[in-house]
Structure 1
Amino acid sequence: MPRTEPAVTASASSPVNAGSARSVLLTLLGEFVYPESTLVATGALLEAFACVDIAERSARQAINRSAASGWIEAVREGRRVSWRLTDSGHALIARGSRRLRAVREPMTDWDGQWLLLHVSVPDAQRVQRQRLYRALSWAGFGNPTPGLWICPHSDREADLGQILTDLELVSQALVFMARHVEVGVERADLVHRAWDLSAVGAHYEELHEQFIPGRSRSGGALREHILLVNALQRLPSVDPGLPLALLPEGWPGRPVIAELERYRAALAPKAHAEWRALLGKAA
């Protein structure tokens, strides 16, 4: 059966490349600002963007758009502008952390319950449809057949409701809880149709190759740390975080993430020291 248009697939580009400027901003905020709810000067953010090769114009656009979205707010002291996370920004990063945790630690006691969505968005609303596809894929939904989305995490009903509300699609959506039965398509085939796990597995292999601990790369610990954390942060857009019962034997996700998390921990002291130096320069 032909695969329907995917919302998000494993990126064909190298995972060692930084994501969009906005994605990198979330990495900086989540890694260095969120844990202690600190302020960060614009200059420090621009320096951090520069160390992963993001131009100042793109960096400033990401900052301004994030402020317009209500994730961060400006704090002015004379001519100096600093930024802090808003409540919405804190909630956004917390949701991302929970979603990454589901990828890192696959559910071992899945009850067989599926969260189902049937929604049809006409061609005239193509932009809205693409936004829906991206949001559903990030939330762990797969698309086995046109109009139907499935997710093995039944506790994401509230997340789904928020997506539909934000996109004003509640009146077009049919939402159910369901259990797979031994009639029709087998469960393994259903998973194959809904998610391209071969592409996801290949992404993990490439991620591991790019971030082999000790591999020589220029730019210092802060650059390496930002690139690594950003790649980990983007995993929910690639990996649906399926329960162990639905994953193929020898799934590479968990061991690769575990190794990269150890590398992240090893990089962290020096990277955070370099970050504090940036803050000092911007003060």
Structure 2
Amino acid sequence: MTLLGEYVLPRDRPVWTSVLVNTLAKFEIEEKSARQALARTAAEGWLTSDRVGRRVRWSLTQPGRKLLTEGARRIYEFGSVERQWDSRWLVLLVSVPESKRDLRHRLRTRLTWAGFGSPEAGVWICPDVSRQEEAEEILSSLELTRGAMSFVAGYGSIGEVGSMVARAWDLSEVERRYEEFIEEFAGTSPDDGPATLHAQTRLVHEWRRFPFLDPRLPTDLLPANWRGSQAAQLFHRKHQEWRPAAQEHWDKLD
């Protein structure tokens, strides 16, 4: 998905199987596994294939293009803008029976991606009240709107907001991942097209995890000297610096 979003999405043309398989081989992904990944992605409706002689090429479907466009927007914008916070919280109350574990997992995955945390079972919070429409879409798609409730409010006088944040999000683990990201890429300086494409792909692949891991809390709710800001600056600087050479080399592969 990283290769498709970074190199195939910006181009309005199919990509050969050999290009994808050979590129994935540079990341120690065996040909069999690469072809299985292509087949799974097609089975999920994100890709479609056509044969040209003895060769096969792949195109993004409309749902696939929509999925990657939204993902790219979230990934590339993540960490680029500091928003002002008015101290209001969006609170969701939604209950899923323990017996429906798959549904609980899907709800958690999608709400986490949307920036929500859960301090208590059935309670989800987010400091970005503009996410209410997105939350409603998630609940609707999972058929969980019946019985669910939402509130927009400020934190009251009982308890401490810092304690609530700590129960909803493991910020120490997020910061540890940011430190690993900085350590891995701060000193990386590829010197040719193949090396730059490899570095750029790794950069995006690692960064695309953070919109899921990091709820992008307002500065008021973050620990002092939060490493996420440094990591975001590093990502955007390296991505802009490496992009021309990486894209140029991709065109040569085709």
With structure 2 as the length reference, what TM-score do the two structures score?
0.88
Q: Which residue of 1 aligns with 2:126?
A: 151
Q: Once the 2 structures are TM-superposed, how far is the Cα of residue 102 of structure 1 from its aligned partner?
A: 5.7
Number of aligned residue pairs: give it.
252
Give the aligned residue type for 2:114: A
Whether 2:58 is the aligned partner of 1:122: answer no
Moved more, 102-111 or 80-89: 102-111
Q: Which consecutive residues of structure 1, in runs of 5 or more, have no partner in the other structure?
A: 1-25
Alpha carbons of structure 1 residues 257 and 114: separation in structure 2 relative to 1, 3 Å:
same
> CA separation in 1, counterparts of 2:77 and 2:195?
30
Which residue, 185, 191, 209 being the options, matches 1:234? 209
Secondary structure of the corresponding residue to residue 160 of structure 1: helix
> CA separation in 2, counterparts of 1:92 and 1:256?
25
Secondary structure of the corresponding residue to residue 99 of structure 2: helix
Q: How does 1:28-107 map to 2 (within 5 A)?
A: 28-100=3-75, 103-107=78-82
Q: Which residue of 1 aligns with 2:141?
A: 166
Q: Which residue of 2 aligns with 1:18?
A: none
Give the aligned residue type for 2:239: R
> CA separation in 2, counterparts of 1:162 and 1:57?
37
The answer on whether the counterparts of 1:37 and 1:85 sit within 8 Å (CA) in structure 2 is no
Q: Which consecutive residues of structure 2, in runs of 5 or more, have no partner in the other structure?
A: none
The answer on whether the counterparts of 1:103 and 1:242 sit within 8 Å (CA) in structure 2 is no
Q: Deviations over 1:218-277 (max 9, x none)?
A: x82222221111011121121112223322232111221212322233333332233223
Q: Which residue of 2 aligns with 1:3?
A: none
Q: Which residue of 2 aligns with 1:134?
A: 109
> CA separation in 2, counterparts of 1:160 and 1:73?
30
Secondary structure of the corresponding residue to residue 78 of structure 2: helix
Q: Once the 2 structures are TM-superposed, how far is the Cα of residue 124 of structure 1 from its aligned partner?
A: 1.9
Alpha carbons of structure 1 residues 254 and 209: separation in structure 2 relative to 1, 3 Å:
same
Which residue, 88, 91, 109 being the options, matches 2:84? 109
RMSD: 2.3
Give the aligned residue type for 2:156: E
Moved more, 52-61 or 162-171: 162-171
The answer on whether the counterparts of 2:190 and 2:196 sit within 8 Å (CA) in structure 1 is no
Q: Deviations over 1:42-72 (max 9, x none)?
A: 1111111111112223222222222222222
Alpha carbons of structure 1 residues 128 and 59: separation in structure 2 relative to 1, 3 Å:
farther
> CA separation in 2, counterparts of 1:66 and 1:107?
34
The answer on whether the counterparts of 1:180 and 1:187 sit within 8 Å (CA) in structure 2 is no
| Bigger relative contact order, structure 1 or 2 (CA pairs below 8 A, ≥6 apart) | 1
With structure 1 as the length reference, what TM-score do the two structures score?
0.80
Q: Once the 2 structures are TM-superposed, how far is the Cα of residue 148 of structure 1 from its aligned partner?
A: 0.6
Percent identity between matched residues is: 40
Q: Once the 2 structures are TM-superposed, how far is the Cα of residue 195 of structure 1 from its aligned partner?
A: 0.7
